[in-house]
Chain A
Amino acid sequence: MEEIQADIPFTSRYSMTQQRFTGKNAVRFDQIEEQEIRETVGEIRLENPRLSCHDVNVFYGDKQAIRGINLDIGHNEVIAMIGPSGCGKSTFLRCFNRMNDTISNCRVTGKIMMDGQDINGTVIDPVALRVRVGMVFQKPNPFPKSIWENVAYGPRIHGLAQTKDGIHEIVVKSLQQAGLWDEVKDRLHQPGLGLSGGQQQRLCIARTIAVNPEVILMDEPCSALDPIATGKIEELIDTLRKNYSICIVTHSMHQASRISDRTAYFHLGHLVEVGETKTVFLNPLHPLTEDYVTGRFG
């Protein structure tokens, strides 16, 4: 315990909860379930964050899906969001590029700051925001067009290059970055839907990085893929962290432990614990986290 505490910057909130949960299984899981307000344990704030959430709530109609989340996301870090189904991690992820706007009865409150501006405010346009915060979805969803067209679409509508050659350059670069170039360079003008599932997902990643975002959101990108394709995506994430901040929602705890720098554990709309991945998996501070990562439930 001593070593871990030394790694974690103390906040008043942390010290409080720390005291409460001293000793493993000191408080039983079912007792915690009853508590309405749950404080997050672990390192919430970072120095110089890329994205910073302050008391974010999400409502679907009357139902509250996300309850008062505070979290920072740093530069060039991979943060994994784990938790049982329905815990709100995907909903939370979709707050970052305002994808929840497309759901008619969905309401987001609280502040999400990006470079000193609230992305839910009036200064930042959601369309412009989505260029800076790209997204890769659970199911590979390439456009029903050619491979080239799939990657070229974003740069073209944003006018990132004026000539066709310029666009082509971006397409080549993005496909190379996504590790797909060697596999598709001879069939760029064939339909994107003709690729295998893993290739399609990498095509979607290439499409996302083609518009040069700062943050990439990934919503369970490997849940529809086999282990080999998953391995390739994980390698890709490892290379992408040099240039981008990556938030990845995953159901696989192994994946989270393999690829992420930090891990956030969600439970019923609460952010229960966040910290260095190693800490969260090996020495979780919160009993709920421990139950989940050790496979006792979830």
Chain B
Amino acid sequence: MESSMDKRLKKRYAADRRFRIYGLSAVAISLLFLSLLFISIIGKGYTAFQQTSVLLDVYIDPEMLDPEGTGDRALLSSADFGALIKQAMRKAFPEVTARRDKRALYRLLSSGAEFELRNQVLAHPEQIGTERSIWVPADGSVDMLMKGAISRDTAESDRPLKDKQLVWIDALSSQNRLKKKFNTTFFTAGDSRDPELAGIWGALVGSILTLFVTLLLSFPIGVAAALYLEQFAPRNRWTDLIEVNINNLAAVPSIVFGLLGLAVFINFFGFPRSAPLVGGLVLSLMTLPTIIIAGRAALKSVSPSIYEAALGVGASPMQAVMHHVLPMAMPGIMTGTIIGMARALGETAPLLMIGMVAFIVDIPGSILDSSTVLPVQIFLWADSPERGFMERTSAAIMVLLLFLIIMNASAVILRKHFERHR
């Protein structure tokens, strides 16, 4: 009797231990995959935060920029700075004379070099007529070579940089005129066809504007709907029907919402395409069911005794809900909102349908401007053939994840704030 009891007890403890090991290994496996993901993204993307620049001695020739010496800014900004850059390159390599070779030489610099020079001259017009050393961005292929992504061992016909160009690069390098610097362009520019000029800022602003519209619409509407359905609506066939439909809406594939947005907001209402306003509207439709379901669950979990207590001292049903039930349900509603917003941030498919996949260089200034968003930008870059976009894709993913973390962290802080004031 005694021993059989002991045996069974031992068995139960063994089962206990086994279960704990299963749980631990499940956690370990998920952590492993998560760290693999991070390592691969960071390993591929960290190089994008640096960009190769070339130090160029440019004679800022007044004859070419402003022959009459008017100092007119409009005239100055439309002047041919590209010619100055080419002149400087020819001076740096006087031995290059053939036209084809010259063109190959110019290709070592990014097309953004002349903008760099123009910005500097416009900021300091007094420099006209002097010779200046300025750092200008190198071409994407030079950047790739410096980062080791292009091997010198491959056959000349298979690599974007020819043997002659390699000689010039080595010459620049030996004069300390080639350097990797922090890539500010990536954080300040919009999209570009040239990887060295492409930045994430346009997509980031687009994402912020879109999510702003989404939050502004879906949070109040979602909370109001949850409040009405949970606290005030009579229980009958109609409210049951509404509940079933909301639950179904939460499971509808997002591309369907995109088509809906295209048909209703763009074709019927005539809102501008590719705009954060339409993106926000579509994502609100998608986020609403999540917020309503989470909101109702949170409201349901508030003890009815609090509602009764408020009624008992003579609060109206509205006051009882607004003063007591809603504040207590707020942390739960916030959690639902975070989940919904996080999903909206990562959503690509519905935004493709409303034109946010367009190639947009300008930084959007309002919710009516054309723009793109972070996940669509990642999709676009991942699709681009240039070698330089590969690292930028990973870097953009890092920015997206960081944005997500910041968003979630601020929501957690807000939730803690509400919990403290219970």
Residue numbers of A with Cβ under 8 A of B are 97, 99, 102, 104, 127-128, 130-131, 134-137, 139, 141-145, 153-154, 157-158, 191, 204, 207-208, 210-211
25 chain-A/chain-B pairs, Cβ below 8 angstroms: A99-B312, A102-B307, A102-B311, A104-B234, A128-B314, A130-B312, A131-B313, A134-B312, A135-B308, A136-B312, A137-B308, A137-B309, A139-B305, A141-B305, A143-B306, A143-B310, A144-B328, A153-B323, A154-B314, A157-B314, A157-B315, A158-B314, A204-B309, A207-B313, A208-B312
Which residues does chain B contribute within 8 Å of A204, judged by CB atoms?
Answer: 309
A26 to chain B, nearest CB (A): 44
**Is B102's CB within 8 Å of the partner chain A?**
no
Interface string of B290-322 (1 = CB under 8 A from A): 000000000000010111111111111001000
**Is B422's CB within 8 Å of the partner chain A?**
yes
Q: Which chain A residue has the least Cβ–Cβ distance from B307?
A: A102
**Is B86's CB within 8 Å of the partner chain A?**
no
Which of A128, A143, A191 contacts B324, CB < 8 Å? A143
**Is B235's CB within 8 Å of the partner chain A?**
yes
A230→B262 CA distance, assembly (Å):
67
Which of B234, B235, B314, B324 contacts A131, CB < 8 Å? B314
- Count CB-based A-B contacts (< 8 Å): 65
Chain B interface size range: 20 to 34
Q: Which chain A residue has the least Cβ–Cβ distance from B303?
A: A141
Which residues does chain A contribute within 8 Å of B310, judged by CB atoms?
Answer: 143, 153
**Other than the known A97-B312, A102-B308, A153-B313, what 6 A-B pairs have Cβ atoms closer than 8 Å?**
A127-B315, A137-B305, A137-B308, A143-B309, A143-B310, A157-B319
Chain A CB count within 10 A is highest, among B303, B308, B314, B316, for B314
Q: Are A141 and B313 in contact (CB under 8 A)?
A: no
Q: Which chain B residue has the least Cβ–Cβ distance from A125?
A: B316
A135→B310 CA distance, assembly (Å):
10
Which residues does chain B contribute within 8 Å of A208, judged by CB atoms?
Answer: 312-313
B142 to chain A, nearest CB (A): 64
Q: Are B311 and A130 in contact (CB under 8 A)?
A: yes
Q: Are B314 and A211 in contact (CB under 8 A)?
A: yes
- Contact flag A130-B313 (CB < 8 Å), given A139-B305, A141-B303, A141-B306: yes
Which residues does chain A contribute within 8 Å of B308, judged by CB atoms?
Answer: 99, 102, 135, 137, 141
Q: Which chain A residue has the least Cβ–Cβ distance from B235?
A: A104
A79 to chain B, nearest CB (A): 19
Which residues does chain A contribute within 8 Å of B422, judged by CB atoms?
Answer: 144-145, 191
Q: Which chain B residue has the least Cβ–Cβ distance from A129?
A: B314
Which residues does chain B contribute within 8 Å of A139, judged by CB atoms?
Answer: 305
